[in-house]
Structure 1
Amino acid sequence: MDRYLPPNHPLNRVHRIGAALFGLGLVVFGALGFANQLAYFSTSGDMVLGLSSNGLLSTISVVVGLGLVVAAVIGGLVASTTTSVVGAAFLLSGLVNLAVLDSPLNLLAFKLPNVLFSLVAGMLLLFVGLYGRVAGRLPQDNPYWRARHHEEPYDDHSPELLAERARMAEIDELAHAELAVAEGHATAEQLRMVHEDAVRRAIETRRELYRREREQGRTWLAQNSPYS
């Protein structure tokens, strides 16, 4: 996959920057928890950067944060997948800890601001990790689309090349429409496409015939002119 997503690709930069920023934030949050010497398994917790924390949450924050930073350094599919997985874990953590607030099972010392942060951070991480990767219909110049279809990567994103690829996609769609018409199960849209293509071809053929007739007429006049 990495050969389809080079380091200078915009999607790769989004994945790496997002993973690095979230990772560094978690490392700072966890380090401040260690600096405050928080009780490791306290269910009440102490405030760090506006959020409740204990020693266990500080440890998890540092470990996950370092994982995101390493993924950002590697980049590519690793950064995208790691960020997405951590985002899903944040969402799950927010929901689970919401259910155990103010109970002995609140091992991470979560309070309502922690739950809200976890849910928001999870959605943002999922957005960053899946950005340009998951959609109803990815464009054919998307690196994830190309990897999924095992097409060769290319670095030329010039308007001419993109226009040529769009034209080839239209030709491929027209070929499927003509096959559907021949087999008798074409949709109304496919019938319209085939009809418009037939009209266009007829116009082009007529223009070509007119052009040849004019050229032949000019040639005959040149050969039979009394001044030649």
Structure 2
Amino acid sequence: MKLQDELPVDHHLGAVYRWGAAFCGVVLLVFGSLGFADRLSPFSTDGNTIAGLSSNGALSLISVLVGALLIAGGFIGGNIASTLNMAIGTLFLLSGFAHVFILDRPANILGFGMTNVVFSFLMGLVILTFGMYGRVSSKLPHDNPYWQLRHPEEAARESRSRREPPARPDVRSDARGALPGGRSR
């Protein structure tokens, strides 16, 4: 299954992907902009506190770039926004795991603190949820294109049954055996 091909452009799930990407992108853009406004040093390993999170110039730059990418994905919408949300959400989770091990070490070039790690996990889960919404579930509705792709035979059967006219009762007789017009057999 190719994740980018099966969702129609005008499907109602596109709004979830679009708004989720835009919302998370704005949050990251604001955080990064606040870091630039505070003129942080680029690779300070201790970082300054911005909006309750430790930051430096490099983390501000990454936040602005990723935020702009998410906002662009929100403008594009559809499968691109969904796939972008899933990819960036996964990267946030991986970043959280990686930074847990390098806290208070010289390798911490982004100046992460424990609050950043928690934020990375939470933001990653939020972005990932927006990207996976309607794609991954055990109880997808049958009109969902992802369900239809995973169950092609049943989807074709349901599609045929919607297109076929309902079976008409026998016109020749009613329940008592009378013919139309009140005549009996």
TM bucket by the smaller chain?
Answer: 0.7 to 0.9
CA contact (8 A) 1:83 1:129 kept: yes
2:92 to 90, 93, 98: 90
How far 1:28 sits from its partner (Å)? 1.1
Contact 2:17 2:85 in 1 (8 A): yes
Per the alignment, residue 56 of structure 1 pairs with: 58
Instruction: Indicate how the Cα distance of structure 1 residues 139 and 166 shifts in structure 2: closer, same or farther if over 3 A, else same.
Output: farther
Q: TM-score, normalised by structure 1?
A: 0.66
1:165 aligns with 2:158: yes
Q: Which residue of 2 aligns with 1:114?
A: 116
Aligned to 2:34: 32
CA RMSD of aligned residues (A): 3.1
TM-score by length of 2: 0.80
**Deviation, structure 1 residue 138:** 3.0
Aligned to 2:135: 133
Of 4, 9, 20, 1:6 maps to: 9
CA contact (8 A) 2:7 2:79 kept: no
In 1, Cα distance between equivalents of 2:8 and 2:94: 29
Q: Taking CA–CA contacts closer than 8 Å with sequence separation of 6 or more, which of the two structures ends up with the larger relative contact order?
A: 2
Q: Is the 8 A contact 1:80 1:130 kept in 2?
A: yes
Aligned with 2:67: secondary structure?
helix
Structure 2 runs not aligned, ≥5 long: 163-169
Q: Which runs of 5+ in 1 are unaligned?
A: 152-163, 170-206, 221-228
Count of residues in correspondence between the two structures: 171
Runs of 4 or more, structure 1, over 2 Å off, are 1-7, 136-140, 143-151, 164-169, 210-214, 216-220
Task: After TM superposition, list the pairs within 5 Å mapping 1:189-204 onto structure 2.
Answer: none
Offset from partner CA, 1:79-100 (integer Å, 9 cap, x none): 0000111110111111110111
Q: Tell me what 2:166 maps to.
A: none
Structure holding more helix per residue: 1
Query: Larger Rg: 1 or 2?
Result: 1
Amino acid across the alignment from 2:74: A
Letter aligned with residue 215 of structure 1: A
Q: Which residue of structure 1 aligns with residue 74 of structure 2?
A: 72
Q: Distance in 2 between matches of 1:38 and 1:79?
A: 31
